[in-house]
Amino acid sequence: MIYLKTDEEIELMRIANRLVGTTLAEVAKNIAPEVTTLQLDKIAEEFIRDHGAIPLFKGYNGFPNALCISVNEQVVHGIPGTTMLKEGDIVSVDCGVKINGYCGDSAYTFEVGEVAAEVKKLLQITKEALYEGISNAVEGKRIGDVGHAIQTYCENRGCSVVRELVGHGIGRNMHEAPEVPNYGKKGCGQLLKSGMCIAIEPMINLGSKNVKFEKDGWTVRTADRKPSAHFEHTVAIRPGKADILSTFEWIDQVLQKTSIYD
């Protein structure tokens, strides 16, 4: 069942998603060599709770932390712990919150110091692919149009698209229908209607698309151990142009980047 949100519900979702954006910016301030992923997680959880929200991921199917933090070849669902960041790493941080009964969900892959040129390019391609997908997330198009846009953008630039993990509908619950793959065929899949809210989240690998699931039951890594990047926005489907409910605005301020999107 797909639930179409009212304008009032979408505004409540915007509040949740903007809190995710400010939380990720707090994390961004603290990403540096010798910082552990658990330290970042604690910063995020305190920030979320201080703003009257709950961390959406903590306790979800037994997940132990507020953030999913995935380093280098880890694709998604990395469990924060004693892993210490080092110069040249990339770290994907996925954050979700619930406030006023509605969910927000967004992710960003950060550079730790200076990273290799090909890895920097992977991040750029993945982030750009996210917005290619969003440009197709409009009333009257289909889920396949979103996935096709992401897939072709990345594959035409020599990167590969993970198949086992997908985006999702979102609202009162973190995971709602429909699933939103990062690959697909134009004109196929669920028809997009105004009021649908979906999380679009390209997970893109520098090497092979194949992944492995680690013994911890959560962490997914690339099979060839080459780096993977992950960017995510929550959007509301509208006529003509998607309404991006999450934002990288505050992250860009921390990183002193100029965004052409937000």
User: What would the pLDDT profile of 107-160 be if each residue is shown by its tens digit?
Assistant: 999 999 999 999 999 999 999 999 999 999 999 999 999 999 999 999 999 999
Q: What is the mean pLDDT of residues 244-260?
A: 88
What b/e sequence results for 128-145 when a residue is b if at least 16 CB atoms lie within 10 Å of its CB, and e otherwise? bbbbbbbebbbbebbbbb
In this predicted structure, the answer to whether residue 31 has a pLDDT above a threshold of 80 is yes
- What pLDDT shows up at residue 141? 98
Q: List the 160-161 sheet strands across, edge first.
A: 160-161, 203-205, 228-230
Residues β-bridged to residue 220 = 76, 213
Task: Provide, rounded to the nearest whole percent, the portion of the chain with pLDDT above 90.
Answer: 98
- What pLDDT shows up at residue 260? 47
**Is the CATH number 3.90.230.10 carried by domain 7-255?**
yes
In this predicted structure, the answer to whether residue 62 has a pLDDT above a threshold of 90 is yes
Q: What is the mean pLDDT of residues 78-94?
A: 98
Q: In this predicted model, what pLDDT tens digit does every residue of 163-200 receive, in sequence order?
A: 999 999 999 999 999 999 999 999 999 999 999 999 99
